[in-house]
Amino acid sequence: MSKYLIKFTKCSIIRYISHLDLMRLFHRAFKRSRISLTYSQGFNPHPKMSFAQPLSLGYTSVGEYLEFETLKEYSNNEVMERLNLVMPAGIKVTDCWKLKNNNKTAAALVCWGSYEITCQGDFDQPPGQAVQSFLQQNQILIQKPQKKRKEMTEIDIKPLISQFKIIEEKQGQVKFLVVLRAGSQANLNPELLMAAFYAYMQKIYVKEDVSIKRLELFDQTQKALYEIHER
Amino acid sequence: MVLTEQLDRLLSQVEKPGRYIGGELHSVYKDENNIATRIGFAFPDTYELGMSYVGLQILYKVLNDLDQVYCERLFAPALDMEILIRQKRLPLFTLETKTLAIDLDMVGFTLQYELAYTNIINMLDLAGIPILSRDRGKEHPFIMAGGPCVFNPEPMADFFDFMVIGDGEEILPEICKVHRQWKKSGRDKKEFLLTLSSFQGIYVPSFYQPVYRTDGTMERIEKIEDKAPKKVTKCIVSNLTEAPFSTEPIVPLIEVVHDRSVVELFRGCSRGCRFCQAGMIYRPVRERSKDCILELAKKQLASTGHDELSLLSLSTNDYSQIENLVEQLMEMGKENNVSLSLPSLRLDSFSLRVLEEIQGYKKTGLTFAPEAGTQRLRDVINKCITDEDIYEAMKQAIILGWPRVKLYFMIGLPTETYEDLDGIGQIARNIMDIYKQYRYKQKGGRFGLTISVSNFVPKAHTPFQWFPQDSTESFHAKHIYLKKQLQSIRGVQFNYHNPGQSQIEAVLARGDRRLGKGIIRAWELGCKFDGWREQFKYDRWIQAFTETEMNPDFYANREIGLNEMLPWDLVDNGVSREFLLSEWDKAMKGQKTQDCRYGCIGCGINALNSCERMGTL
């Protein structure tokens, strides 16, 4: 039995499939690649495979991670090659690590995520200044729907933002880089941040004008997941 | 994989955008410059339904295996997407290259179900293609149809340039060849249709003109074009083992209705249930060899990575080597964590044993179709199941711990009385008694029975094609009657189909060419996705019929005279009129007809194609 962590990209139109669809996609890809995964025991065995952090439908990413357990041992390169041979367009495995047994799972490690956000359209006021003053607020309150109950609750997202800056500004388009809490403890969806920022600027948030790309996932100390594992 | 910027903006606003993106594993992308014939395979329902249809996978392969042909897919956009693409005036496009449907050479619709007819009109409209064949010019694609519903081609005749009746695998490459030559010749569209009309299985509606009597019945079908055949005989693929079948089916990126590998065991059915259209129009029975099935299953599983394999046929148990095949497939599945799924099973001891092995602890539900509540009525419809069969199967199922059993019945069948409805109640009570008797032996805990009742719809080319459908009022009354009986039994659930939907289905199933304007009107009034219960608008359909002076009762609820000419008489499906008449006669006398594996019953199909199954049992 061997454990691996792979890093992969989810690009172009395949961003329009959901997290569940992606799970099924990998499940089938492993079967096609003839890399045999170990299965859980019990009445309803399922392959041992888990993603570090789900990606919202519609986002692209160059920093997705998946862990899995195989029956046989393969070299890191072999895992990558075999998987890439059978992947549909848009998914590409870019790195692979063999894990030691005592590693914490990737899902448990994830604490932060970085995103590149591209907004189409012009801003009335210089967005750079707006970002500054937006972040200088004591609290950044947003309405968030409750998972179980349907009512909205107000939360302060300021502690969930580590970085929020402009990396490119040109006619009709602004690119932001943000680092936000991610994972099971606390999580901030970049769309919620952008909606709050647009509201702050008194601008209407149009979903189709904003595209989001995840760049990387980090642990508590903001060390990227790929830096954590030795080759 | 292509995505226009315009489409990209829409995708972030719709539900399940994965329906519209293409780019799935094994979808085909070709150099568009070397193509003579560009085809759109159009499925008039959503992506999830269409991608679960095996016929699409077969024909997609057949066409794309041809050098100068490129076949792409078209589906009905869901309602939320339709609103957006109409707003943005974005015409219907193919999934693969996002080419506009109107720019293709041919668009072929599959007619799987009558209640999808308005979706076809809607898709043509979304594509910007004139709905009526006669309004289309040389700049428009040829619009063709296939599938089981074209066995009565008339209600949809005005919309199609030609229709392919029967198995498509062998004729489609011929059609492409003719198209290529015709395109080179630069001649007008009629020339192409003239050449095609000489082929077995091709029906060109515009070459015929039906003539009606004053009482509304048909007098004759006049040929307008001399060269057109008097009758159109269906295409038959004689050898299924040698017939093309996909080893690399498209693997959808999103979850569809059936996410699994599928291999077709055989086509046709030897049982001869008298209400069943599939059992008549797909004759003769043609089996695929066991080795071929195993090979196809193995290749499909390897190329797709599916974890489920299903076998396709009208009656799985009737495959001649079923036990051996299933054993080998289960062996194969165990090695690769692939589960086997067997639809259309007869519940005999073999099936239950296999199901026990396949499902083990994961037992969900078992379905079974006695179709009628009494032995007398089952004899009338030639459904050869006895009460004993039902109760023995139920006893076994209960002991094996199946938590839920669903039984299918049909009401409104010829000669049905309320005694037959009582029979349905009686069966439900008896099964619950069996449960009480055997529950101490049961492995699981609970047991629930679902009685699902559908409304009989008379279909073309069956022995019951002349029989009137019950009125919607009568169906309602019967539903209430059954509900009363069944709701008093603990553990029994009852559900039934919408009688309005069944009536419209019957109108379209037995309709003639005049109905075309009624269908257009219904679509104009907002009817689409009529097969979806929550979308179906009965009042609009009735309004459409009233406005176009059509009487739905004339088509659905009238007893058709045995000597009357039928709209579908120009389709020869190989089963003789004499056979259908004698089956009707026997039905009225309550006489059964044997499964033709025990000996030929003279249906007439062997005049068209050799029938290998007769007398094999």
Check whether residue A92 and residue A119 sit in a common domain. Answer: no
Q: Which of B5, B7, B12, B87 to mutate to test the interface with A (most CBs of A within 10 A)?
A: B12
What 3-state DSSP class applies to B457?
A: coil
Higher pLDDT, A145 or B406: B406
Instruction: Tell me which chain A residues have a C-beta less than 8 angstroms from the C-beta of B337.
Output: 31, 39, 45, 47
Check whether residue A177 and residue A78 sit in a common domain. Answer: no
Q: Is the pLDDT confidence value at B81 over 80?
A: yes
Cα distance from A12 to chain B (closest Cα, Å)?
9
- Cα–Cα distance, B296 to A133 (Å, whole number): 64
* pLDDT over 70 percentage in chain B: 97
- Would you place residue B339 in the very low, low, confident or very high pLDDT band (cuts 50, 70, 90)? confident
Check whether residue A62 and residue A131 sit in a common domain. Answer: no
The reply to whether A58 touches chain B by the CB within 8 Å rule is: yes
The closest CB to that of A208, out of B1, B9, B302, belongs to B9
CATH 3.40.50.280 domain extents, chain B = 5-233
Tell me which H or E stretch contains B323. helix B322-336
**Side chain identity at residue B53, one-letter code:** Y
Say if residues B329 and B297 touch (Cβ distance below 8 Å).
Answer: yes
Cβ neighbors of B577 (< 8 A, separation 6 or more) are: none
Going along chain A, which residue ranges are E strands? 2-10, 49-51, 60-70, 91-99, 112-120, 141-145, 152-156, 161-170, 173-181, 210-218
The reply to whether A13 touches chain B by the CB within 8 Å rule is: yes
Q: Is the pLDDT confidence value at B579 over 80?
A: yes
Q: Is the pLDDT confidence value at B334 over 90?
A: no
Two tokens at B403?
A: 């938590």
Question: How high is the pLDDT of residue B2?
Answer: 58
Q: Is A223 part of a structural domain of the chain?
A: no
Q: Cis link prior to B284 (omega < 30° from 0)?
A: yes
Instruction: Tell me which chain A residues have a C-beta less than 8 angstroms from the C-beta of B333.
Output: none
Two tokens at A68?
A: 């899995």
The reply to whether A45 touches chain B by the CB within 8 Å rule is: yes
Cα distance from A19 to chain B (closest Cα, Å)?
10
- Cα–Cα distance, A96 to B411 (Å, whole number): 61
Cα distance from A126 to chain B (closest Cα, Å)?
26
Going along B11-141, which residue ranges are E strands? 37-43, 69-75, 106-110
Q: Is the pLDDT confidence value at B190 over 60?
A: yes
Cα distance from A109 to chain B (closest Cα, Å)?
29
The reply to whether A207 touches chain B by the CB within 8 Å rule is: yes
Q: Count the neighbouring beta carbons within 10 Å of the beta carbon of residue B448.
A: 16
Nearest one of A118, A124, A101, A109 to A168, comparing CA atoms? A118
Check whether residue A95 and residue A68 sit in a common domain. Answer: yes
- Cα–Cα distance, B568 to B151 (Å, whole number): 7
* Helix spans in B337-467 (H): 349-359, 375-380, 387-399, 418-438
Check whether residue A78 and residue A20 sit in a common domain. Answer: yes
Q: What are phi and psi of B236, to 5 degrees?
A: -130, 130
What is the rounded average pLDDT for all residues in chain B? 94
The reply to whether A16 touches chain B by the CB within 8 Å rule is: yes
- Cα–Cα distance, B274 to B463 (Å, whole number): 6
- Would you place residue B392 in the very low, low, confident or very high pLDDT band (cuts 50, 70, 90)? very high
Say if residues B348 and B317 touch (Cβ distance below 8 Å).
Answer: yes
Q: How many CB pairs lie under 8 A apart between chains A and B?
A: 77
The closest CB to that of A88, out of B11, B23, B301, belongs to B23
**Domain's final residue, options A81, A109, A137:** A109
Instruction: Tell me which chain A residues have a C-beta less than 8 angstroms from the C-beta of B361.
Output: 43-44
- Cα–Cα distance, B617 to B612 (Å, whole number): 12
Check whether residue A86 and residue A163 sit in a common domain. Answer: no
Digit-coded pLDDT (tens) for B522-558 = 999 999 999 999 999 999 999 999 999 999 999 999 9
- Cα–Cα distance, B55 to B76 (Å, whole number): 17
Check whether residue A185 and residue A149 sit in a common domain. Answer: yes
Q: Tell me whether residues B361 and A24 touch, CB distance under 8 A.
A: no
Q: Is the pLDDT confidence value at B361 over 70?
A: no
- Cα–Cα distance, B489 to A206 (Å, whole number): 55
Q: Is A148 part of a structural domain of the chain?
A: yes
B396-410, B509-523, B586-600, range with the lowest pLDDT: B396-410
The closest CB to that of B12, out of A12, A39, A58, belongs to A58
- Cβ-in-10-Å burial (0-12, 13-18, 19+) of A195 comes to middle
User: How open is the CA angle A63-A92-A6, to the nearest 5 degrees?
Assistant: 55
- Cα–Cα distance, A214 to A178 (Å, whole number): 10
The enclosing domain of A100 has a CATH number of 3.30.70.580
Strand partners, B223: B208
The closest CB to that of B11, out of A16, A31, A44, belongs to A16
**Domain's final residue, options A67, A89, A109:** A109
Q: What are phi and psi of B355, to 5 degrees?
A: -60, -35
**Domain's final residue, options A80, A109, A138:** A109
Per-position b or e across B470-483, b if 16+ CB within 10 A of its CB: bebebbeebbebbe
CATH of domain B260-342+574-617: 3.30.750.210
Digit-coded pLDDT (tens) for B432-451 = 999 988 877 766 567 899 99
For B76-112, the three-class secondary structure string (H helix, E strand, C coil) is CCCHHHHHHHHHCCCCCECCCCCCEHHHCCEEEEECC
Q: Is A162 part of a structural domain of the chain?
A: yes
- Cα–Cα distance, A192 to A161 (Å, whole number): 11
Among all residues of chain B, which has the CA nearest to that of A120?
A: B9
Check whether residue A103 and residue A29 sit in a common domain. Answer: yes
Q: Tell me whether residues A90 and B1 touch, CB distance under 8 A.
A: yes
Q: Tell me whether residues A17 and B24 touch, CB distance under 8 A.
A: no
The reply to whether A46 touches chain B by the CB within 8 Å rule is: no
Question: Per-residue pLDDT averaged across B568-586, rounded?
Answer: 96
**Side chain identity at residue B254, one-letter code:** I
The reply to whether A57 touches chain B by the CB within 8 Å rule is: yes
**Side chain identity at residue B382, one-letter code:** N
Provide the phi-psi class of B579: left if phi over 0, else alpha when psi is between -120 and 50, else beta.
alpha
Question: Per-residue pLDDT averaged across B64-91, rounded?
Answer: 96
Two tokens at B108?
A: 């072929």
Q: Which of A22, A24, A209 to mutate to test the interface with B (most CBs of B within 10 A)?
A: A24
What 3-state DSSP class applies to B127?
A: helix
The closest CB to that of B307, out of A27, A44, A88, belongs to A27
- Cα–Cα distance, B370 to B364 (Å, whole number): 20
Digit-coded pLDDT (tens) for B38-50 = 999 999 999 999 9
Maximal CA-CA distance, chain A: 60
Per-position b or e across B509-529, b if 16+ CB within 10 A of its CB: bbbbbbbbbbbbbbbeeebbb
Check whether residue A34 and residue A124 sit in a common domain. Answer: no
The enclosing domain of A164 has a CATH number of 3.30.70
CATH 3.30.750.210 domain extents, chain B = 260-342+574-617
Q: Is the pLDDT confidence value at B99 over 70?
A: yes
Check whether residue A95 and residue A177 sit in a common domain. Answer: no
Range of the domain at A23: 2-109
Q: Tell me whether residues A17 and B11 touch, CB distance under 8 A.
A: no
Maximal CA-CA distance, chain B: 78
What 3-state DSSP class applies to A167?
A: strand
Q: What are phi and psi of B500, to 5 degrees?
A: -60, -45
Check whether residue A117 and residue A77 sit in a common domain. Answer: no
- Cα–Cα distance, B556 to B511 (Å, whole number): 8
Residue ranges for chain A with pLDDT beneath 70: 149, 230-231
Q: Tell me whether residues B305 and A31 touch, CB distance under 8 A.
A: yes
Two tokens at A29?
A: 């890809």
Question: How high is the pLDDT of residue B1?
Answer: 45
Cα distance from A34 to chain B (closest Cα, Å)?
8
What 3-state DSSP class applies to B442?
A: coil
CA A139 to chain centre: 25
The closest CB to that of A13, out of B1, B251, B302, belongs to B1
Task: Report DSSP state, residue B289.
Answer: P
Integer angstrom CA distances of residue A176 from A119, A131, A169, A203: 8, 10, 9, 16
Among all residues of chain B, which has the CA nearest to that of A27?
A: B305
CA A70 to chain centre: 24
Two tokens at B120?
A: 């076809």
Check whether residue A196 and residue A124 sit in a common domain. Answer: yes
CATH of domain B5-233: 3.40.50.280
Digit-coded pLDDT (tens) for B473-514 = 999 999 999 999 999 999 999 999 999 999 999 999 999 999
Question: How high is the pLDDT of residue B614?
Answer: 65
Say if residues A51 and A19 touch (Cβ distance below 8 Å).
Answer: yes
- Cα–Cα distance, A83 to B413 (Å, whole number): 55
- Would you place residue B335 in the very low, low, confident or very high pLDDT band (cuts 50, 70, 90)? confident
Q: Is A226 part of a structural domain of the chain?
A: no
Question: How high is the pLDDT of residue A55?
Answer: 96
Instruction: Tell me which chain B residues have a C-beta less than 8 angstroms from the C-beta of A44.
Output: 361-362
The count of structural domains within chain A is 2
What 3-state DSSP class applies to A86?
A: helix
Instruction: Tell me which chain B residues have a C-beta less than 8 angstroms from the C-beta of A27.
Output: 305, 307
Two tokens at B55?
A: 């016929």
* pLDDT over 90 percentage in chain B: 85
Question: How high is the pLDDT of residue A231?
Answer: 57
Cα distance from A88 to chain B (closest Cα, Å)?
5
Two tokens at B330?
A: 């289960």
The closest CB to that of B24, out of A27, A31, A88, belongs to A88
Higher pLDDT, A136 or B399: A136
Cα distance from A26 to chain B (closest Cα, Å)?
9
Q: Tell me whether residues B9 and A27 touch, CB distance under 8 A.
A: no
